[in-house]
Structure 1
């Protein structure tokens, strides 16, 4: 009877070992997933701050009666599109991140064009409110860049954990899926042409 217990004890021990390994993996990846969620909230917060300030910037620029309406309309439309895309931490797939990034990049581009167009309006450019918002805009763009980089770091750690063996064996079972990354805008790999004519 003792000999028949040994294989059962070995099998029971192996089952317990696999169980505790699976529980440890699940706890570890859940913690990483929470880190991704936290950093995603920071990214959203930075973008929301920019959207809020964009509204103020648009109101100040509207005060210049002869300002280019098409540029202003482009900013308003891009802001509406950018704020309409809401992602939850479970939706941070590469495709959804790309959609979100595309909308945010359009807003960045529209704001950049707006700031360039303002150069033609010295009275508007000279107001304290506009100068303050312009400085805040630059700071917000820097903050967005920092938060996106931090998000990519935590997403990389999470993705690495669920893709490497043995984690890849359990990731699907526990419902852990790959998170997307922010990427550089198209064309940023090329140096801009600058000429002083």
Structure 2
């Protein structure tokens, strides 16, 4: 009888230890996926930042008197490069997106620029990169959701608190981009 009780206790102890190890490893894996997905956003932002000087130089040749717009794009690009947190990166990225929209709006006033093959290629590459950035943001937010849920749900929340796993911030769009655009004809 004592032997059977000992075996049952050992099996229960092994099950508890395996469960704890599994929950801990799951939290570590999710935390690392969050870091990796944020790094993927950084890869795409870097790609866009590398394209911007070429775009600015191309536009300068045609629309040199639009100096304020070009300076704003350059300033916004620097902001993205200097951001260190998710919140700073998100804000700087949103600022750069707005500056690029303004730059493309200015380019609409220059038919020769719009027809320039360098400009068209850069615009196409930036558009492709913007799509990749949007996908990377979505993937990051999906991973953060899963990680944060794991940190909050019982019983893994006890492991998260015990080992100081902190919830991560979502990559968010600014209020101005959440508004429904008004279409007029």
TM-score (norm 1): 0.83
How many Å separate the matches in 2 of 1:66 and 1:83?
25
Counterpart of 1:32 in structure 2 is: 30
Aligned positions of 1:121-136 closer than 5 A: 121-136=110-125
CA contact (8 A) 2:23 2:156 kept: yes
Aligned positions of 1:85-104 closer than 5 A: 85-86=83-84, 96-104=85-93
Q: CA offset at residue 16 of structure 1?
A: 4.3
How many Å separate the matches in 2 of 1:10 and 1:25?
22
CA contact (8 A) 2:94 2:173 kept: no
Counterpart of 1:79 in structure 2 is: 77
Q: Note the residue ranges of structure 2 that are not aligned, 5 or more in a row.
A: none
The number of aligned residues is: 185
CA contact (8 A) 1:61 1:67 kept: no
Query: Alignment partner of 1:152: what SS?
Result: helix
Q: Note the residue ranges of structure 1 that are not aligned, 5 or more in a row.
A: 87-95
How many Å separate the matches in 2 of 1:176 and 1:59?
45
CA contact (8 A) 2:90 2:173 kept: no
How many Å separate the matches in 2 of 1:65 and 1:149?
35
Deviations 1:22-59 (A, max 9, x none): 21111111122222222222111111111111121112
How many Å separate the matches in 1 of 2:99 and 2:128?
17
How many Å separate the matches in 2 of 1:190 and 1:75?
23
